[in-house]
Amino acid sequence: MLELRPSCECCNKDLPPSATDALICSFECTFCRECAKHRLRWLCPNCGGGLVARPTRPAALLAANPAATTRIVRDQKPCGNVS
C-alpha cells in the first residue's frame, strides 16, 4: 500500500491524500507538480527515477488506511541536483 506522504519533499507544500498534483517515484518519494516540472525535470532527485501521478485514496478508505503524517524535506542538497 502506498505511504501517501503528506507534503512535497522539495518545497514542503501540503499534499493531502486527495491531492491531484502529487507525484511519486517507484520508492514513493513525493513531490508537487510545480517542483517536478520546474526544478526536477520530472526526475526524482533521490534515485533518478521518473515521477508519475500519485493515485488518490478515497476518503471512505482513509480511516482504515490512513495517509502518512511524517514530513520528509530534502536538506542534504538542493532540489534540482539529480545525482
Tens of pLDDT along 50-64? 999 999 999 999 999
User: What integer pLDDT is reported at residue 1 of this predicted model?
Assistant: 86
- What pTM did the predictor assign? 0.85
Sheet with 30-32: list strands edge to edge: 30-32, 22-24, 52-53
Give the angle subtended at the CA of 9 by the CAs of 81 and 32, to the nearest 5°: 95
Delineate the domains of the chain, giving CATH numbers in brackets.
Answer: 1-74 (3.30.40)
pLDDT at 6 over 80: yes
Q: Which residues contact 27 (CB under 8 A, 6 or more apart)?
A: 44, 46, 47, 49
What are the cell numbers at 73? Answer: 524535506
Distance (Å, whole) CA 80 – CA 38: 9
